[in-house]
Structure formats: structure tokens, C-alpha cells
Amino acid sequence: MPGRAGRLVLAFLVLVPRVGEATVQDQSPITRRDTYWLGAGLGLGSEDFGGQLNGSYQFGANVISLRIASTIASTAGLFGDGFVDYGLLYGRATRGAGEHHLLAIAAGVAVVDGCRGGGIFSDCRDVSAVIGLPLEFQASYRPGKLIGIGLYGFANLNRMRSFGGLTLGLQVGRLR
């Protein structure tokens, strides 16, 4: 009987390490880390010019963003109507660790403020703040771990005046 028990113990000791090795090999060698960045951009808006500042945090496929997005109308080169939103957004992103790109889309809640009728000879009339639905799209190329460039699309749907824009901007942070 001791011979048979010894063989079982020996077989157990030989097989268990091999099962452990197979399990380790099945796991993906890519580790996904949380990333975060600050972004700023200028471009075209529904009122003529558009601009945005954002701070985003990505964990897994989830993205949380804080943003300020604005459009400003131009009258003969002088600023006129302007609207800005201050938003908190949640969305999803497609990006793997080590990849050089990010695609993200998000929606949330924002406070929208603005003015109408401003220009060189008249003051801007404030419009009372309203709650809006902010939307964003981010598509960026990240050649390094700390700096990237990208397109940032934004929109805000609200009862005062809906607006949107597309900016080209810079991202700085822990991108990969």
C-alpha cells in the first residue's frame, strides 16, 4: 500500500505545477492601468468659434469627464453671442493598454450660461442659466505616454440654445 500511496503523491506533485503553469499562460500579459488627462482645444463651433477644456479619467472602458465647452459668434471679427457649459459626463471608451489611440463617447449633465447681442457698440445681455444635456466625442492619437493630440467633438442640448463644435487639441497626463 505505501508504494501505491507514494505513486499518488508523486503524480500529484508532478501534475499540480503543470496545471498552475497552464493557468498562468492563459492570462493576458497586457495590464490595463487607469489613465487620466487634461485636454484643451480650439476649433469651429455652431456659433462660429468653439473651444473646450476637459479633464478625463478612464478606468477600464469607463470614462468620466469634467468639461467647459463654449461657442462664440463673431460679427465682423468682433465677438457677439456666446454660450458655455460646465458639465460632468460619463461614457465608454475603446482602448487597450499600450495602444496609441483613444475613442470615447460620453453624455451627462451641465449648467449652460450665455449672453446674446454683444459686440463693439453694445453690451452682451445675460441669459439665465439652464440645465443641459452635454455630449462629447474624443478621438486622439497618443505617440507618447504623457502627450497626445486629438479631435474633441461637443454638443449641448438645452432649452435656451443648443450648440456644438469640433476642436483640435492637446492632451497631457498619464495616457498609457
> Domain boundaries in the chain?
35-174
Domain 35-174 has CATH 2.40.160.20: yes
Supply the pLDDT for residue 94.
84
Query: What DSSP string describes 89-151?
Result: EEEEEE--TT-SEEEEEEEEEEEEEEEES-SSSSPPEEEEEEEEEEEEEEEEE-SSSSEEEEE
Task: Give the residue ranges of the chain where pLDDT is below 70.
Answer: 1-32, 73-81, 95-98, 117-124
| Bridge partners (DSSP) listed for residue 36 | 57, 174
**pLDDT tens, residue by residue, 114-162:** 877 655 555 667 778 999 999 999 999 999 889 999 999 999 999 988 9
- Count of H-run helices and E-run strands, the chain: 1, 8
What pTM was estimated for this model as a whole? 0.74
